Amino acid sequence: MDSTLFQFLDKLKNNNNRIGLKNKSEFDLLNKQVKTYFQSVFDHHKNIFDWDNVKVFRIYRDVRFSKNKSPYKTHFGIAFHRLKPNHRGGFYVHLDPADSFIASGFWDPNKDDLFRMRKEIEMDHEYFRKKIEGSQVKKMWGEMKGEKLKTSPKGFDREHPANDLLQYKQYIFSKKVDHKTIFSHEFETFIIDHFKTLLPVLNYMGEVLNTNLDGESLL
């Protein structure tokens, strides 16, 4: 990818209106560049991660219910979706001149999935901690992140030794990426090396979500 991508996004951020995207051909060229790059990443590594598809999100914002009426996003978001129902969790790349990052995990689990994940942690929290606090995960990603409740979720013991994990509403890992890495030849390697370290976590939770509390398959 070319560094003109961030130059374009900076200009758009400073002039986020219909006039700001008057040079549509410039956007179309950069959008195609991003799509081509990440389609190549997908094609090269889809079998490792059991990816189903890759999506580059539209730059147009839905402003119908927002106080912010700026018509355009000032970043590119790229999501790698896995083959469901066997494989769960997702991978994401965020390209923003001011805040680029990669991420993986469970961003918005539905009510049933979140309950099942919490029950598994309740029953076997030491194994889950071992997965998310492994040396390679820590080295590559640091601590797990995500929105949390202020207290234990309903129906769970607030004195449980894994109450800190049960409070999570999301189970996410993210890492900031600098401009030099993004526009280097090593960016794809950087992405894949980081994503690989989280495969054991995602695959484990995928197995959990595909079984009931007795460990019987739901598929």
pLDDT for position 65: 79
- Helices vs. strands in the chain: H and E counts, helices first: 8, 5
Model pTM score: 0.94
pLDDT tens digits, residue range 131-154?
Answer: 999 999 999 999 999 999 999 999
With cut-offs at 50, 70 and 90, classify the pLDDT of residue 206: very high
pLDDT tens digits, residue range 31-54?
Answer: 999 999 999 999 999 999 999 999
4-209 carries CATH number 3.30.930: yes
Residue 19 has pLDDT above 60, yes or no: no
pLDDT for position 25: 84
Instruction: Parse the chain into domains and list their residue ranges.
Output: 4-209
CA distance 154 to 77: 34
Contact 209, 113 (CB under 8 A): yes
pLDDT for position 131: 96
In angstroms, the Cα distances linking 87 to 38, 95, 106, 204 are 20, 26, 12, 10
DSSP three-state, residue 207? helix
| Distance of alpha carbon 114 from the chain centroid | 17
